[in-house]
């Protein structure tokens, strides 16, 4: 089984990389882009029986820094 974890900077935390991407898109003529937030996707290969609660614990302890980041988990 697999899980996919999305980690994003929380709203209100400046994302200078996303902002740089937005600027670049604007400079290329994509003038409808009003904001860009850049995050991470982490794919986990998991042994059978691993629960979403286990993945939540991994997120809380390591995969995300909840001071600045939020996360979401997809069990697939």
Partner 1 sequence: MKAAVVVFPGSNCDRDLAVAFEQAGFDVSMVWHKDSTLPADVDIVGVPGGFSYGDYLRCGAIAAQSPICQAVVDHANRGGYAIGICNGFQILTETGILPGALLRNAGLKYICRTVDLKVETSSSVFTEGYSAGDVIGIPIAHHDGNYFADDKTVAALQDQDRIAFTYVDNPNGSVADIAGILSENRRVLGMMPHPERAADEGHGGTDGTAVFRALAGMVTTA
Residues whose CB is less than 8 angstroms from the CB of residue 59 and which lie 6 or more positions away in sequence, other chains included: 5, 7, 71, 73
Instruction: Give least dist CB 2 to partner 1, A.
Output: 19
Nearer CB in complex with partner 1: 16/35:
16
What are the residues binding partner 1 (CB under 8 A)?
9, 13-14, 16-17, 20, 61-63, 65, 67-68
Nearer CB in complex with partner 1: 60/74:
60
Nearer CB in complex with partner 1: 49/67:
67
Instruction: Give least dist CB 5 to partner 1, A.
Output: 11
Asked if residues 71 and 4 have their Cβ atoms less than 8 Å apart, the reply is no
Instruction: Give least dist CB 67 to partner 1, A.
Output: 4
Taking the C-alpha atoms of residue 19 and residue 67, their distance in angstroms, rounded to an integer, is 20
By CB neighbour count within 10 A (0-12 exposed, 13-18 middle, 19+ buried), where does 3 fall?
A: buried
């Amino acid at each position: 089984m697999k899980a996919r974890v999305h980690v994003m900077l929380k709203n209100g935390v400046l994302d200078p990389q996303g902002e740089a991407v937005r600027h670049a898109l604007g400079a290329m003529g994509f003038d409808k882009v009003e904001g860009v937030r850049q995050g991470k996707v982490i794919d986990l290969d998991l042994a059978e029986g691993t629960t979403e609660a286990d993945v939540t614990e991994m997120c809380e302890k390591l995969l995300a820094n909840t001071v600045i980041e939020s996360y979401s988990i997809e069990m697939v």
